Amino acid sequence: MAEKERYLPYLAGTGMALIFGFSFLFTKEALSEIDPFHLLAFRFGIAVILLTIMRIAKVIRVEYKGKAIHKLIAIGLTQPVAYFICEIFGIKLTNSSEAGMMIALIPIVVTILAVIFLKEFPSRIQIIFVGLSVIGAIFIIVMKSSEIGSNIMGILLLLLAVLFGSIFNVLSRKFSTDFRPVEMTYTMMWIGAITFNGIAIIQHLMKGEISNYFVPLMNVKVVIAVLYLGILSSVIAFFLINYTLAKIEASRAAVFANLSSVTSIIAGVLIRNEPFYWYQIVGAVMILSGVWGTNYFGSKRNRKRL
C-alpha cells in the first residue's frame, strides 16, 4: 500500500469525526424551531437532491446490477433510520455535548460486535487504548451524572443510538467488499429521505397542516442547520465513514466517534455556552489518547503483516 493510501482512511475518519461533532450543535439549534422528524426529512431530502444531481452529472457512479440490494437495505434501516430516530430525540432531551459524549461509547460496542461477527481481533495494546478512550467518555458521564439524572429517557435513547451506530459500523465493514462507499451512501440517503419525509408528511396530514410543510425553511436557523446536516453530515461525512470502514477494521474506525465527542464538547461550550468542567478536560485527553493509540498500533500491526 502506498504511503498516501495508508493515511487516507485516517484523514477520512478525522474529517468525519469533526463534521459529526458539530452536527450535534446544529441539530440542537434547529430543534428549537422544527419538529425532529421534519428536520430529518429536510436533512435527507437535501442529501438525496445533491447526490442525484451528482449522479446525473456523472460526478459519482452508482451501479447495483447483480448486487445484493437487501444488504444495502439492512444498512439503511440501521443507519440512518433507527440510529437517527434515537439520536435526534435523545439530543432533544439532553444537550449537544452530552449527546456527543454518549456516542463516544460506540467503539466498545463495535469492538465486541466485530469480534463476534467479523472475526476481527484487536491486539492487547489496541484493547488498552480503546478502553482508555471509552473510560474517558464514561468518566465524563459519571462525573456529570447528577446533572443528567433527570434526562434518563434522553440517555436511554442515546444508548440505543450507540447500539444501532455500532451495528451499522459492522454491517458497513462486512459489506464493503460488495459495494463501493458511494453506493452505500447513496442508498442510505434515499432510505432516510423516503422514511423521514413519509413520517413528516403523515404528521402534517394528521394535523391538517400539509400546506405549511416548507414553512420552516423560511427560518434562517433551520436553513443553515439543514444545509450543514444534509450536505456535510449526510453526504460528505457518510462517504468518509464508509470509505474508512472499507479500508480499516471496524473497531479502529469506530474510535473516531470519540473525536466527535471532543468536538461536540468544544462546540457546545464555545457556541452554545454549555457548562465546561475540569473532568471534561481530563476525559477529552483520555479520549484523544485512545484514538491515537488504537490507530497507531493498529497501523503498525498491519505493516508487519505486509
Give the relative orientation of helices 256-270 and 106-113 as an angle to the nearest 10 degrees. Answer: 170
Give the relative orientation of helices 152-174 and 96-103 as an angle to the nearest 10 degrees. Answer: 40
Which one has a higher pLDDT value, 103 or 23? 23
Question: Binning pLDDT at 50, 70 and 90, where does residue 78 land?
Answer: very high
What local confidence, expressed as pLDDT, does residue 1 receive? 47
Report the distance separating Cα 138 and Cα 177, nearest Å: 34
- Which cell is 161 given? 443510538
Helix/strand/coil for 271? coil
Which one has a higher pLDDT value, 46 or 101? 46
CA atoms within 13 A on the CB side of 114: 26
Report the distance separating Cα 15 and Cα 237, nearest Å: 7
Task: Determine the average pLDDT of the residues in 117-143.
Answer: 79
User: Is the pLDDT score of 306 beyond 50?
Assistant: no
CB 60 within 8 A of CB 182: yes
Task: Determine the average pLDDT of the residues in 273-283.
Answer: 77
CB 50 within 8 A of CB 230: yes
pTM: 0.79
Averaging pLDDT over each range in 105-114, 200-209, 264-273, which range is the top one? 200-209
Q: Where are the domains of the chain?
A: 3-305
Q: What one-character-per-residue DSSP string does 64-91 give?
A: -TTS-HHHHHHHHIIIIIIHHHHHHHHH
180: left (phi over 0), alpha (psi -120 to 50) or beta: beta
Helix/strand/coil for 120? coil
